[in-house]
Amino acid sequence: MAVLNVNGKALNHNADPRTPLLWVLREQLGLTGTKYGCGIAQCGACTVHIDGVATRSCQVPVSTVGAKKIVTIEGLAEDGKLNKIQAAWVAHDVPQCGYCQSGMIMAATALLAAKPNPTDADIDAAMTGNLCRCATYVRIRAAIHEAGKTL
């Protein structure tokens, strides 16, 4: 058994060390909010935080994580209350199909942790590579701006 620090909890898994973190999170730990999109780290649906850095989990072998702190979309809400970014997402009616949204929210969370009041250019740079097939990019930008104002 190996242990991962996920959302502040020590969780055991018995995955092959070469298994991508995404599959350990979803299949062994039951944290299905992190989505499989492309499998080649290009779409952002699988984004999680590893030690505070937005990371594409589909390309991270679980053996490389060690004791680093992993946060998934399930770990953002506190005591059942949405965080500022999640609340802004709802207020701006960002999701349509919703498939990419956990990755988008994780990328936006990392951006706002680094730059609490980002410019449009900052948002574009941070969110590049997080693909939304429903093209809700204008609402995503508005939600990030709103969340930044309330942090």
pLDDT in tens, 27-67: 999 999 999 999 999 999 999 999 999 999 999 999 999 99
Say how far apart CA 117 and CA 144 lie, in whole Å.
9
Residue 151 pLDDT > 90: no
Tell me the CB-side half-sphere exposure of residue 52, using CA atoms within 13 A: 4
Query: How many whole angstroms separate alpha carbon 83 and alpha carbon 134?
Result: 23
Q: How far apart are the first and last CA of the chain?
A: 39
Asked if 104 and 127 touch (Cβ cutoff 8 Å), the reply is yes
**CB contact set of 53 (below 8 Å; sequence gap of 6+):** 110
Give the confidence band of 150 by pLDDT, cuts at 50, 70, 90.
confident
The residue-averaged pLDDT of 65-75 equals 97
Contact 51, 43 (CB under 8 A): no
- Amino acid making up residue 80: G
User: pTM for the complete prediction?
Assistant: 0.94
Predicted confidence (pLDDT) per residue in 98-122, tens digit: 899 999 999 999 999 999 999 999 9
- 137 pLDDT exceeds 80? yes
**Quick one: tokens of 27?**
């299949």
